């Protein structure tokens, strides 16, 4: 039986995914042409989803008081050069997320094999965490997306995850779903989609499929207590 699980934090709308809060805000942020900015965009989408940032704040960061956690976050982005050209890795994003510890945000940098990463992503989604996934198509081509759900098959009571459903900041917002990109990671039998280093398949709104590799992840969770 085919089955799917999506984030409880989000709901569909004609303009794109929104938070489930009373005054739901659009979550998708469209990345500009600046190389290396996908990590911060994915992180800010996660922070929007968890309700610790507001969209109107992100669209004008210059208004943030440099003494506030938001201002310190902005200054860290600028200092890193993350919104210009330097790019970010999982450690960078986890460190940036730590600026919101006072709002109950906890961030974990996750590494390991594909099976280990997928297991961590599934567990995070199932306990209402927000995972960010870093993928690559070559040694010089990497990208970050927010994972909003997973899809798989149940056979004899056992679930095999086959696809990760992602919100990609590099393309337009989806209008009829919570995701605009998919990563096919395993077959129904639990085998990698293909052999070699780039053993997963990625496709976006254009439908073009390309082989990719799951590199690392960052899991954000909100301690609501």
pLDDT at 179 over 70: yes
> Over the stretch 68-102, which tens digit does the pLDDT of each residue have?
777 777 777 777 665 555 678 999 999 989 988 98
Q: Which range is least confidently modeled, 1-5, 56-60, 120-124, 138-142?
A: 56-60
Lowest-confidence pick of 17-21, 121-125, 196-200: 17-21
Number of domains in the chain: 1
> Which residue carries 């990109």 as its tokens?
181
Better-predicted residue by pLDDT, 35 or 161 = 161
Query: If you count them, how many residues does the chain have?
Result: 225
Burial class (CB within 10 angstroms; exposed 0-12, middle 13-18, buried 19+) of 140: exposed
* Those residues with Cβ within 8 angstroms of residue 137's Cβ, 6 or more apart along the chain or in another chain: 143, 198, 202, 210, 211, 212, 213
User: What's phi and psi for 39, nearest 5 deg?
Assistant: -60, -55
Supply the pLDDT for residue 201.
97
Q: Is the pLDDT confidence value at 132 over 80?
A: yes
113: nearest Cα among 191, 220, 218, 215: 215
Minimal CA–CA distance to 132: which of 220, 11, 222? 220
Domain boundaries, position 167: 2-222
Is residue 137 pLDDT above 90, yes or no? yes
- The predicted structure's pLDDT at residue 116: 97
| 106, burial (CB in 10 Å: exposed 0-12, middle 13-18, buried 19+) | middle
Secondary structure of residue 25 in the 3-state scheme:
coil
In angstroms, rounded to a whole number, what is the distance separating the alpha carbons of residues 51 and 85? 28
CA atoms of 61 and 56, how far apart (whole Å): 9
Bridge partners for 4 per DSSP: 151
- Decide: 132 and 88 in contact? Cβ < 8 Å: no
* Residue in this structure with the two tokens 């309700």, named with its chain if needed: 51
CATH of the domain at 54: 3.90.70
């Amino acid at each position: 039986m085919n089955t799917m699980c999506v984030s409880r934090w989000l709901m569909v709308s004609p303009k794109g995914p929104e938070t489930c809060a009373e005054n739901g805000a659009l979550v998708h942020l469209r990345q500009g042409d600046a190389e290396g900015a996908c990590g911060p965009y994915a992180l800010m989408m996660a922070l929007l989803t968890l309700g610790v940032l507001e969209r109107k704040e992100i669209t004008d960061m210059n208004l943030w008081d440099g003494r506030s956690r938001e201002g310190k976050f902005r200054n860290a982005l600028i200092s890193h050069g993350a919104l210009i050209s330097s790019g970010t890795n999982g450690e960078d994003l986890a460190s940036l997320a730590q600026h919101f510890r006072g709002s109950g945000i906890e961030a974990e940098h996750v590494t390991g094999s594909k099976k280990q990463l997928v297991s961590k992503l599934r567990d995070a989604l199932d306990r209402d965490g927000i995972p960010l996934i870093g993928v690559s198509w070559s040694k010089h081509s990497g990208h970050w997306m927010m994972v909003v759900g997973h899809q798989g098959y149940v056979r004899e009571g056992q679930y095999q995850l086959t696809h990760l459903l992602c919100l990609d900041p590099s393309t337009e917002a989806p209008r009829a779903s919570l995701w605009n990109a998919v990563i096919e990671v395993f077959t129904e039998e639990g085998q990698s989609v293909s052999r070699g280093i780039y053993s997963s398949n990625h496709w976006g709104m254009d439908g073009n499929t390309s082989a990719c590799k799951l590199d690392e992840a960052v899991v954000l969770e909100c301690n609501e207590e």
